[in-house]
């Protein structure tokens, strides 16, 4: 294969992988939305279990988004942020276009909203003795719903560009 053919294959493979990642993000967002709806009659015990399930799906949503951004930045920029703050740096790097390489993967508003979900994921993974508060979960679930159109649009633009270059 020529270098041009290799480059084309790499871009097309990345586009295919990102489509799969975006599908995972969509499924996690749908699970969050499903669990965010409060049934008409819900006992405190059921509300507690639903809250735990919602917290788990919020974690999975952010992890799916982060995996998609890592794959994008690694595949297009050639490297990902490192160090103690790499999660936050990944959001920052993803919101900055790299001229002649790639557009911004997400906009600044999306990065800010994702930082909030990242903060919750950190809480969920490290606050072993604290239960998530249902009102906070509802706010985060709403944020996830609001993030999806922006994620679809920005990642869709990246996919179109990759497939056009490929």
> For the chain, how far is it from start to end, CA to CA, in angstroms?
14
Question: pLDDT per residue over 34-78, tens digit each?
Answer: 999 877 788 989 999 999 999 999 999 999 999 999 999 999 999
pTM (2 d.p.): 0.92
CATH level 3 topology of 3-165: 1.20.120
CA angle 64, 69, 70 (to 5 degrees): 95
The token pair that represents 54 in the structure block? 């919602």
Would you kindly state where each structural domain of the chain is located, as residue ranges? 3-165
Phi, psi of 120 (to 5 degrees): -65, -40
């Amino acid at each position: 294969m020529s270098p041009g053919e290799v480059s084309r294959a790499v871009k097309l493979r990345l586009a295919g992988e990102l489509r799969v990642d975006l599908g995972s993000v969509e499924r996690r967002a749908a699970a969050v939305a499903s669990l965010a709806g409060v049934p008409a009659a819900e006992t405190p015990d059921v509300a507690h279990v639903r809250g735990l399930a919602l917290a788990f799906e919020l974690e999975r949503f952010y992890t799916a988004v982060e995996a998609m951004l890592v794959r994008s930045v690694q595949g297009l920029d050639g490297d990902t942020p490192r160090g103690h703050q790499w999660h936050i740096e990944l959001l920052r790097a993803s919101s900055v276009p790299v001229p002649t390489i790639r557009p911004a993967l997400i906009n600044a508003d999306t990065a800010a909203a994702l930082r909030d979900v990242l903060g919750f994921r950190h809480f969920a993974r490290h606050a072993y003795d604290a239960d998530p508060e249902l009102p906070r979960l509802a706010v985060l679930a709403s944020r996830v719903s609001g993030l999806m159109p922006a994620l679809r649009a920005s990642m869709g633009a990246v996919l179109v560009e990759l497939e056009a270059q490929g």
